[in-house]
Structure 1
Amino acid sequence: MVMPKRLTYVLSRIVQAVLVMWAAYTVAFVILNLLPADPLALALQAKGTDIKSLDAAQVATLRAQFGFDQGPVTRYFTMLASALHGDFGTSYSYGVPVADLIRIRIGSTLLISVLAIVLALIIAFVLAFLASYVNNRYVRGFLRLLPTLGESVPSFWVGLLLMQVFSFGLGWLPSMGMDGWKTLILPTITMSIPTGALLGQLLMSGFDEVLAEPYITASVAHGIDRRQVLIRHGVKNASLPVLTVLGLAIGDTVTGAIVAETIFSRQGVGMLVQQAVKQQDIPVVQGVVLLAAAAFVIVNLVVDLIYPLLDPRIIQTSKGVVS
């Protein structure tokens, strides 16, 4: 059967996406089950009950209720089969379906994640544009140093610094909570800085490549505005690597949300998974990991499908392949 290369390309990306989600789910399950703590004891402790206060029959009943009486392999396939049907189980700590917990909290996390990505793109473009446009070498050197600094500084330190300055020092913004738009500002900035720094470096490299082209050098020498050259040619030249990293960054927002939501006391998915890991609440962690993996693979799948539109050389459509 002859299949067009474009269709083969799409199908291969879909298969890779499914494999990534399966691998993420499996790795999370293995790591959580290798932890030395007893998940039943942690689940009971979260409800204010000490497992030592129960007799053997009660403990055995609870282990059967939570599925801990099964072997890890059996439990893995049981949970995986349920997850494929949209059932992530019941939280050990909260006693409610994991899907309900995620649905309640995901709105807040999505909001600050989208805002952070948008702000990161703005920061990256402004830094890269100014670093390539400004003629003063000292200013240019300083601007080119900022992305490296942004990537090297830990996010939690940035969040605490912003809180100290703008909340406790100046009193302009609230330090925690989810009441009103002002509570979005500090978490959004905290999440956007690492991504903005990385994207800024890629854009700077793309702009440098454009400005180094002989025809661009000649055009600028003949009086064409450097700003127009950067906007018309620089952005397009840097779009492919930026798209790649942006896909990774969007899939990484759960990690950033854990830091931001913990610092600023926002009850989102990040805070949920942080508490679930601490309590070894396996169904919750599995559900959030699968959610993060799904976000990662969907965004990267969209990026992979956009690539051929920006650079048709990625797929050769003149011939078919045999499958």
Structure 2
Amino acid sequence: MSRSTAAVRPPRKIGAPARWLLGKIGGGIFVLWAVATAIFFGIRMIPGDPAQAIMGGPGSQASAEALAAARAEYGLDQPLVIQYFGQLRRLATGDLGTSYSLKTPVSDVLGELLPPTLILAGLALLVAWAMALGLGILSTRSGVLGSAVASGLEIVSAAVPHFWLASVLIMVFSSMLGWLPPVSTNSPAGLVLPVITLALPLAGFLGQVMRDTMDQAQRSPFALSARARGESEVGVLLRHSLRHAALPGIALSGWALGSLLSGAVVVESIFARPGLGRALLSAVTIRDIPLVTGVALVSAAAYVVIMALSDLAERLVDPRIGTP
């Protein structure tokens, strides 16, 4: 090949998987920046002085000189714009700062609190999926009455607030029956009530979405073809309908994780369970800016990762979408 021919060779195009990956990375960076910006300006709108949190809270009775020294040490006496870009620069290097209230690096706090929250959210998501699939199968296999019962259960469970459901579960299974502990412990029994509290409302919403898709799949041409080939109703349900019914649930997995993380704020507080939600509530109350920012960014990063994985899973389950 001549040099002139090589010079005019068109540049190689980026493949579809690379474009998909670059798009997810770019979108993730934008989400993290937006979250960091919203937290930075939002928490400063809360009445109060962050220097009070640094000195131990409003009850510390710190002197004006001590508060001024704390502001100077943490850069809180600088203009807001300089504080903002300084925080972005630190976050870009992976420096989450030090918690005002705990006097501990935020990364260490997150490393301690993240696993309990992920375990709680992961178990709740699995239980919600199982409940939603059970309601979907009940509605399609039990006739008109079963469909009406399943639909009613989905509507009621989706509308139940976490705090009310947690209170009822504690009253019934802890106070009246004595089967389960009212607070979350290290034992498996201590996880049952928090997991059910998070999973039940999510299961109602997922069940509503998946039931319609399952009904359509049961009446679709490929289901009729499978029955014509001698496939049993159970085989059509397991091999065809469930896969199509799972697609909207997979697509909503990122939203489901966000819902579980937001619900964890209430659930972890009610059941006295250590985790990101309980730490976030306390940090917002005392204006612990580094800890609030760290928890929000970790939650946003988890949301971005789950969204990417759910998109990939959706493409693998449905060949019509195509793999990246």
TM exceeding 0.5:
yes
**Match among 273, 276, 282 for residue 280 of structure 2:** 273
**CA distance in structure 2 between the aligned counterparts of 1:25 and 1:76, rounded to whole angstroms:** 9
Q: Structure 2: which amino acid aligns with 1:267?
A: P
Q: Does 1:173 align with 2:184?
A: no
Question: What secondary structure sits across from 2:44 in the alignment?
Answer: helix
Q: 1:227 to 1:315 in 2, by over 3 A?
A: closer
C-alpha spacing 1:268/1:233, structure 2 compared with 1 (3 Å) = same
Cross-structure match for 2:293: 286
For 2:28, the aligned partner's letter is A
Between the aligned residues of both structures, percent identity stands at 34
Residue type of the partner of 2:187?
G
Asked if 1 retains the 8 angstrom alpha-carbon contact of 2:153 and 2:204, the reply is: yes
Secondary structure, counterpart of 2:77 in structure 1: coil
Q: What's the CA shift for 1:95? A: 1.3
Match of 2:67 among 59, 67, 71: 59
Query: Aligned residue for 2:134?
Result: 126
Q: Which has the higher contact order (CA 8 A, sep 6+)?
A: 1
SS of equivalent residue, structure 2 residue 14: strand
Distance 1:261 1:164 in 2: 17
Q: 2:16 aligns with which of 5, 29, 37?
A: 5
2:101 alignment partner, one of 83, 93, 97 = 93
- Deviating above 6 A after TM superposition, structure 1's stretches of 4 or more consecutive aligned residues are none
State the match for 2:214 in structure 1: 207
Letter in 2 for 1:148: I
Q: Is the 1:199–1:246 contact (alpha carbons within 8 Å) kept by the matching residues of 2?
A: no
Which residue does 1:107 correspond to in 2?
A: 115
TM-score (norm 2): 0.89
Q: Give 1:258's aligned residue.
A: 265
1:161 maps to amino acid: V
Aligned residues: 313
Structure 1 unaligned segments of length 5 or more: list them: 318-323
**Mapping of 1:159-170 within 5 angstroms?**
159-170=166-177
Aligned to 2:5: none
In 2, the alpha carbon distance for the partners of 1:275 and 1:312 equals 46
Q: Is the 8 A contact 1:5 1:315 kept in 2?
A: no
Compared CA separation, residues 38 and 142, structure 1 to 2 (3 A): same
Is the contact made by 1:14 and 1:301 (CA closer than 8 Å) also made in structure 2?
no
Q: Secondary structure at the match of 1:17?
A: helix
Are the equivalent residues in 2 in contact too, given 1:251–1:297 (CA < 8 A)? no
**Letter in structure 1 aligned against 2:223:** I
- CA RMSD in angstroms, aligned pairs only: 2.2
Q: Which amino acid aligns with 2:121?
A: S
Give the letter aligned to residue 67 of structure 1: G
The equivalent residue for 2:31 is 20
Q: Secondary structure at the match of 1:314?
A: coil
